[in-house]
């Protein structure tokens, strides 16, 4: 059985890993990744389109300068993007990164739970495994946080969504403004939880290592009366 200190430390790390796992699921499930407001020029008027979208689905609202508003339309992101577009490829890559991060969070939770309840014989099942899976999860989340804005700003994802997602033909793109929603910013909290889990295990591992080195002191560092004895 593990010591009380080890159980407590790994239990705290387990809670952080489970929190990370739940939040990755929330990020994948919710559509509030970004909102974009785009302006297009059409014959005789300007068209303003408001998009709110995530990795899988989104909504579209249209406003014409003369005051006409088209009812809100819901669409699937994958269906609105052509199979050969770079926007679709980057969107799929973001989803893959988050799924891999979900698996890493699941493994981190399993490793920390195992260490909280027992003392694994294999080295990789101990702190080394927790370091590995938490670090991988953090790196994957960070890559997803970088890739999505690149898709929005660089690849003009919202512009690609408009023709099929809003079921309206557009002509000249005049400009757009983007803002990122809670689904995107939650990933910062996932990073924080991964760092917290790594920090907890690091302090436990460091304390254990220091105690072990203390017990393995050379005999010349022992008191003289002990040596004489």
Indicate left, alpha or beta for 222 from its phi (over 0: left) and psi (-120 to 50: alpha): beta
Q: In terms of pLDDT, which residue wins out, 45 or 150?
A: 150
How many domains does the chain fold into?
1
Answer yes or no: are the C-beta atoms of 201 and 130 closer than 8 Å. yes
- Let me know if residue 59 belongs to a domain: yes
pLDDT confidence tier of residue 226, bands split at 50, 70 and 90: very low
- Let me know if residue 56 belongs to a domain: yes
CA distances from 57 to 52, 53, 177 (A): 9, 6, 19
* The CA-based dihedral angle spanning residues 184, 188, 193, 194, taken in that order and rounded to the nearest 10 degrees: 100
The CATH number of the domain where 90 resides is what?
1.20.140
pLDDT confidence tier of residue 182, bands split at 50, 70 and 90: very high
**What are the pLDDT digits (tens) for 49-76?**
889 999 999 998 888 765 566 678 888 9
* The CA-based dihedral angle spanning residues 150, 154, 155, 157, taken in that order and rounded to the nearest 10 degrees: 70
In a 3-state reduction of DSSP, which class is residue 98? helix
- Let me know if residue 90 belongs to a domain: yes
- Let me know if residue 214 belongs to a domain: no
In a 3-state reduction of DSSP, which class is residue 197? helix
In a 3-state reduction of DSSP, which class is residue 4? helix
pLDDT greater than 80 at residue 117: yes
Please give the structure tokens belonging to residue 82.
Answer: 């052509």
Q: In terms of pLDDT, which residue wins out, 114 or 122?
A: 114
What per-residue confidence (pLDDT) applies to 105? 94
pLDDT greater than 60 at residue 142: yes
- Let me know if residue 142 belongs to a domain: yes
Which of 7-16, 46-55, 162-171, 182-191 ranks highest by mean pLDDT?
182-191
- Let me know if residue 220 belongs to a domain: no
Mean pLDDT, the chain, rounded, equals 84
- What's the domain range around 85? 9-205
- Let me know if residue 83 belongs to a domain: yes
**Among the listed residues 104, 135, 136, 78, the one whose alpha carbon sits nearest the alpha carbon of residue 24:** 104
Tell me the pTM: 0.84
pLDDT greater than 90 at residue 26: yes
Task: Indicate the pairing of strand 45-53 with strand 57-64.
Answer: antiparallel
């Amino acid at each position: 059985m593990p010591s009380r200190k080890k159980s407590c430390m790994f239990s705290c790390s387990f809670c952080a890993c489970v929190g990370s796992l739940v939040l990755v699921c929330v990020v994948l499930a919710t559509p509030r990744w970004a909102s974009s407001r785009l302006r297009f020029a059409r014959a005789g008027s300007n068209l303003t389109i408001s998009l709110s979208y995530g990795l899988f689905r989104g909504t579209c609202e249209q406003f014409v300068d003369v005051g006409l508003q088209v009812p809100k339309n819901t669409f699937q992101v994958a269906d609105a993007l052509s199979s050969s577009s770079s926007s679709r490829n980057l969107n799929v890559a973001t989803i893959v990164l988050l799924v891999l991060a979900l698996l890493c969070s699941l493994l981190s939770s399993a490793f920390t739970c195992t260490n909280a309840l027992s003392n694994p014989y294999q080295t990789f099942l101990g702190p080394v495994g927790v370091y590995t899976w938490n670090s991988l999860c953090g790196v994957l989340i960070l890559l997803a946080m970088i890739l999505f804005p690149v898709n929005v700003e660089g690849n003009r994802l919202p512009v690609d969504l408009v023709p099929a997602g809003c079921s309206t033909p557009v002509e000249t793109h005049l400009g757009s403004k983007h803002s990122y929603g809670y689904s995107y910013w939650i990933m910062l909290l996932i990073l924080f939880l991964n760092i917290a889990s790594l920090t907890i295990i690091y302090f436990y591992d460091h304390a254990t290592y220091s105690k072990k080195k203390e017990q393995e002191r050379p005999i010349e560092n022992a008191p003289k009366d002990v040596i004489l004895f």
